[in-house]
Amino acid sequence: MIRTIKYLFLILLTLCTTLFFIYDRQNLWQTLCSETKESYWIVLSAVVIYLIFLRKRMDFFENLLHELTHMLFSWLTFKKVSGLYVSATNGVVYTEGSQKNILVTVSPYFFPLLTILFLGLSTAIKIEYSKQIIIVSYVLFQIIALKHLIKAPYEISSTGVAGWLLLLILNFWMSYFILSWCSTNEFNVHETLYIISDGIKRTIS
């Protein structure tokens, strides 16, 4: 029963994402192009600095972020965490029970923990260059996630096609909301829900 609900939720999420992309693709493309023109040098600088100076010095920090994200989503999905181990080479979150949760497994590959912390901080207090900090942190997240995916592809592969699909969709939404914040200083959740709702009505009619 639980498995059926999970697949129904994934189907619904896929449908909503597809409709949003179809009916808002022009606005998405314009926003992406605008932000790319404005911020490409920040992205390029972050990538170059990471590859030259940080790539071999951040292994422990990268593994820590990875495992902390697993831990956070373990708590969010009501799994009891009994321990955490992190080193420069690997890491693990110890939880009670043997049943795997697909959301916990894919979480470090779509949820930018550091970026979300910066977003929360910049919402609470005014921080100079907050947009640039958010962009750099998200670029670093993408690099680290890709690095972990190449290093240990079996983590996502163990979730099957559903895991890869969920990862793709959640990355799309995370990137979209961060892009929205960078361009308008808002997440535009209400507008997003309206576009999806209108897309459903237009498709049915």
pLDDT of residue 145: 96
Question: Could you tell me the pLDDT band of residue 129, with boundaries at 50, 70 and 90?
Answer: confident
Chain segment 155-202, per-residue pLDDT in tens: 999 999 999 999 999 999 999 999 999 888 888 899 999 999 999 998
Q: How confident is the model at residue 184, as a pLDDT?
A: 87
Alpha helical stretches, state H, the chain: 2-49, 59-76, 102-106, 113-124, 130-151, 154-157, 160-184, 189-204
pLDDT value of residue 6: 84
Question: Cα torsion for 55, 56, 60, 65, to the nearest 10°?
Answer: 10
Radius of gyration of the chain (CA): 18
pTM: 0.92
Kindly report, residue by residue over 59-111, the tens digit of the pLDDT: 999 999 999 999 999 999 989 999 999 999 999 999 987 678 899 999 999 99
Beta bridge partners of 91: 86
Of 102-106, 111-115, 129-133, least confident by mean pLDDT is: 129-133
